[in-house]
Amino acid sequence: MFTGIVTDMGEILELEQRGDLRARIGTSYDIAGIDIGASIACSGVCLTVVALGATPRNWFDVQISAETVNLTNVGGWKVGKRINLERALKVGDELGGHIVSGHVDGVAEIVEMHDEGDSTRMTFRAPEHLAKFIAPKGSVALNGTSLTVNEVNGATFGINVIPHTKDVTTWGAAKVGDKINLEVDTMARYVARLQEWA
């Protein structure tokens, strides 16, 4: 379980197809505090640590199934790409964003961007089947970042990214056309399911 508050920007150091895709991710995390088998959200995708090392810099390896590659933007990862990282939530941690599972629902696309004051307003197109779960002033996780929805128009929705978020996440390098991992708010999913039974 995560909160969508990114705590590091990792870098893809190696990618290797070994049945499943294996990725080595450089990090500023203290690897002495990471256990084999730990979960780390990598641009919103909950992945399991299978190896750790510190040469030439701190890194961890994850294995990524074909299902995950097909349902997320992981298929577009390249060596050198920066990704948002978040360690799993611990009991007693501050819930600064919203409850995020790290189970990506689909891939959205940035269709428009423009500056509004110091912030950047971005418009996304969600997959049609996920649009009903996105509500104005609700929460979404985009590439693992907890963000508030400004407005919704059919399958498109807008958010604002403040300068701090652009500085400490990969959002500072976002551009129109980027494919973005989207996880809808868990509560919205359950409310929609309950309405189906009402």
Mean pLDDT of 6-33: 96
Q: What is the pLDDT of residues 97-126, one digit of tens each?
A: 888 999 999 999 999 999 999 999 999 999
Confidence (pLDDT) at 161: 97
Domain 8-87 has CATH 1.20.120.140: no
Among 134, 177, 178, 127, smallest CA distance to 152 is for: 134
CATH fold of 106-197, please? Elongation Factor Tu (Ef-tu); domain 3 (2.40.30)
pLDDT bin (cut points 50, 70, 90) of residue 198 is low
Rounded Cα distance between 11 and 50, Å, is 17
Q: Would you place residue 191 in the very low, low, confident or very high pLDDT band (cuts 50, 70, 90)?
A: confident
Residue 40's pLDDT is what? 98
Delimit the domains of the chain by residue range: 8-87, 106-197
How large is the C-alpha radius of gyration of the chain? Answer: 17
Beta strand 45-53 with 39-42 is antiparallel
Q: For residue 182, which of 121, 136, 129 has the smallest C-alpha distance?
A: 129
pLDDT tens digits, 25-54: 999 999 999 999 999 999 999 999 999 999
Distance from C-alpha of 62 to C-alpha of 18, rounded to nearest angstrom: 12
Kind of pairing, strands 139-142 and 179-184? antiparallel
Answer for the pair 25, 96: CB distance below 8 angstroms, yes or no: no
Averaged pLDDT, 4-16: 97
Q: Does this chain's domain 8-87 share its CATH topology with 106-197?
A: yes
Read off the pTM: 0.93
What is the pLDDT, as a whole number, of residue 62?
A: 98
Upper half-sphere CA count for residue 181 (Cβ side, 13 Å): 30
Cα(189)–Cα(185) distance, integer angstroms: 7
